Each structure stands twice: as structure tokens, then as C-alpha cells.
Structure 1
């Protein structure tokens, strides 16, 4: 029987918005397929194993972000896991922390540098439903279902280098508003971007939790962690999830 280890990274500081639920969704969807799955919470100050199968990070406030970035940089475990190609899924503050830099507490803070992104400040808080069409780049090549979530952030996250958007906006603000995107003149892809895909990292501003609202994305992460194609995973029919998606995408 296959086994799966899921790292829940810093739930004590990056757990403000219920994004711990993403790890629970991954475990449940694995177990429903007969896969032994265990969640390994790793708290602030604890070493981060670099040999888990899959990692999740959630959202948090400014002080939490600063603490998280400092720990992740000094520990290095998550960076080694990314270098080994282990899937990492990050939400909101976790998204910003994995970039090159972000603004928190009135200053610019160094990020972990796993994605080529810099977060500045939006003119107005982005709050409400967000939806996008998957770009299908890199790790997300097999992803086809519309992505849905709830955004609540003040960050304008500008992508560069090898970073590519996870989705193209249908609704909401996503990574940045027009003011933020204007820092990269004429970049239409930047203006309508939601989330990021780079290497083994997938990050997004979607709360919800995101993987409860996007089962195909959850299964993609499971498949990558298991070294499989998405199509090789046994399908799951859960009517309640389909009803939720219809309501949110309606």
C-alpha cells in the first residue's frame, strides 16, 4: 500500500485563515483511495524535514510572515525539499514568503527565494471571490478545471524570471491590480495573473480552503507527490464538492 507524508509548515504562525484545511483535504482524498497518508505539523523553531512527500503553507499576518521567513531561511529544509522536486503548495502569506521579498511591518523583508516574485502593496485591499482559468504551465500541465477561491490580501505580487501564473483571472484581483501591474509596463499576463507555478512550487491567493474548492488541484498535488500522472489516480465522486463548485462559480 502506498504511503504519503504531508508536511504542514508552521501552522502556529501561518494558520490564520483556516488554510490548514488543505493538508486535511490531501490526507482525506489519499485515504479514500486506500493510500496511507499522515500529516506532519512542523512548528516555529522546529527543523523542517526535507524528505516528506508534499508540503503545505497557509496565510498569516505581517508579524507571522516575518517570523516564518526568518525560520524558513535559517532552517533550509524547505529549500532542500524544493531542490529535490518535492511539491510545495502555499497560500497568501505563504505565497509571499516564498518569493524574493515582501513588505511587512512597514519594511521590505527577504523571502525564501523559491519563486521569482516580489510583493509590494496594493492601493486597496483585495477581498472577495476570485476565479481563474488554469494556465497549464509546468507542474500544472494536466490541470483543466476552473480555479475558485476567496482572496483577502493587500499584496501585489509581481512575477519575473521563471515564475508563471497558475491561472488567468476570470473574477477578482489575483496577484495584483492595475496599479501594481503598471510597475511592469505593458505586461498583460502580469495584470491578469493569479498565483504562481515555478519548479515544484504552486502558490495562490485562494483561501477556501483552496483544495476543498478545487479537487482537481488537490489530486494533481497528490499525483505529483506519488510520482504519478493525474490521470492515473482513481477518480472520486463527491456530489457535495461538485455542488459547492457550482455555487461558487455560478
Structure 2
């Protein structure tokens, strides 16, 4: 069986390279000898119900509103069916916000209804959150991993009682003032960082795949995972922390 990684509305929610998340998931399955393909669905096309992982990315205000309207129609039924089957949805930034109960965009105080997949509300903040993010994420199996990425959003998100925070912020803004980023509920994980997110955080990529598959993945071959990759990742963490320290010293 070929695993489907479904990118939803790349033309609307793809301005930050978030489609790279789909490529990473497929490649990490293929490296383990498991057939996988990336399927891109655009507005006007039905979302397939047999995906393993679904992906929503970041987009501009008008695109976010257009995407939630399209997914609220019948073409989005496949996403809900897939989640009911046990698939997983990773929603980033605008995709994260539109999965909630409601959101506002830009300077518009008009409240737009979301998909209701996450018990969250997003409203415009006093200032825009822009910059590197460093956090500790809790994966669905209870393990933790360091998350790095880049956030750029004007909305601040409040979690309801049915949603659980995904990551504790060390550097950055995330949801807003609560010290956390993202939310998990049911089979949905929402978060703010781009990067794309999964190339920068391979442990999170494997955690999503294991969550969707319902089993542990075997370790990758040694020729795929090497010391150079780990060194580059450690250097990225150090750069983010150094940048934060310099900013604090100049205040």
C-alpha cells in the first residue's frame, strides 16, 4: 500500500514553503522502504479520504478565509473522514488558525468561523510576532523534542479546555502570552513555526508518521542519518539562542 501525504490548497496556503513538510514525510517513509507519495489538492477538488497525513500551511489573510470556506463545503468532507479513520493533520500558522472555532485576520475585527477541529480562538494581537522560535514540543507518545522554526503572524491564539498546548516556548511568541505554541486535539496538531517545519525538526516528522501509522518506525539507515546533520541542527539552536542574548543585551 502506498501512503498518501496530502497537501491541501498549496495555491492558497503555500507562501512559506510549507509544502516541504509533505516532501519530508514521504521521503522519510521511502528511506525506510515504505511506498509513499505526495498528493496536492487545490480548491474545487475533493480532499481524498485515504490520506495518512494531511497538511495545511501558511497563507495571506484572504487566502485563509477562502480556504476555510472551501473546506467547510463538501470538498472538505474527505479530510474529516480521513481523520475519523485515524489519519493525522499538521496545520501550520494560517492553517492552524483556521482549524479553530473562529479567527480574525489583519486589521479586520470581523470574526470568521473556523473548521472546529481545534478548541481554539484566534484574535488580532497588539503587535506582529516575527522571528525565530525555539520550543520544547511534546509528541503524541509523550516524548519531548526541541522544535525550531520561524514565526510570522499577527493573530494570538487562546486554547479552550479540549485542546492541549503542543510546545513550551523558550524563544519567540507562539500562541501569545501563555508561554506555549500550538495545540493538539484528537488527530490534529497545530503550530505556528515555518521553516519549513519538518525539515528543521526530523524527530517531529517521525513522531507524526508514527502517530498516523500507529506503530514505531525502524531507525533510518546510517547513510541517511550522520553526524553532519546533527551538527547543523545543533548549530541552528545555538544561533537562535545567541541572537536572543544579543537582543537582550542591547535593550
TM bucket by the smaller chain? 0.7 to 0.9
Give how far 1:238 is off. Answer: 4.1
**Local SS of the residue matching 2:154:** strand
Q: Is 1:71 the equivalent of 2:59? A: no
CA deviations 1:184-224 (Å, max 9, x no partner) are: xxxxxxx0111111111111101011101110110011122
- Contact kept, 8 Å, 1:102 with 1:111, in 2: the verdict is yes
Give how far 1:142 is off. Answer: 4.1
Cα distance between partner residues in 2 of 1:121 and 1:130 = 19
Please, which moves more after superposition, 72-81 or 46-55? 72-81
**Local SS of the residue matching 1:30:** helix
Give how far 1:241 is off. Answer: 3.4
Give 1:164's aligned residue: 164
Cα distance between partner residues in 1 of 2:170 and 2:143 = 16
Give 1:26's aligned residue: 25
Distance of aligned partners of 1:225 and 1:238 in 2 relative to their CA distance in 1, 3 Å threshold? farther
Give 1:102's aligned residue: 103
Which stretches in structure 1 are left out of the alignment for 5+ residues?
178-190
For 1:132-151, list aligned pairs within 5 A: 132-136=135-139, 140-151=140-151
Give 2:212's aligned residue: 225
Cα distance between partner residues in 1 of 2:144 and 2:165 = 14
Distance of aligned partners of 1:240 and 1:61 in 2 relative to their CA distance in 1, 3 Å threshold? farther
Q: Is 1:93 the equivalent of 2:80? A: no
Give 2:180's aligned residue: 193
Give 2:241's aligned residue: none
Q: Is 1:215 the equivalent of 2:216? A: no
Give 1:247's aligned residue: 235
Give how far 1:239 is off. Answer: 3.9
Which stretches in structure 2 are left out of the alignment for 5+ residues?
239-251
Instruction: Identify which of 119, 129, 132 aligns with 2:132.
Output: 129
Give 1:4's aligned residue: 3
C-alpha RMSD of the superposition: 1.5
Q: Is 1:14 the equivalent of 2:29? A: no
**Local SS of the residue matching 1:119:** strand
Q: Is 1:62 the equivalent of 2:61? A: yes
CA deviations 1:65-87 (Å, max 9, x no partner) are: 01100011112221222233311
Cα distance between partner residues in 1 of 2:46 and 2:225 = 38
Cα distance between partner residues in 2 of 1:243 and 1:162 = 38
Bigger radius of gyration among the two: 2
For 1:111-122, list aligned pairs within 5 A: 111-122=114-125
Q: How many residue pairs align between the two structures?
A: 231
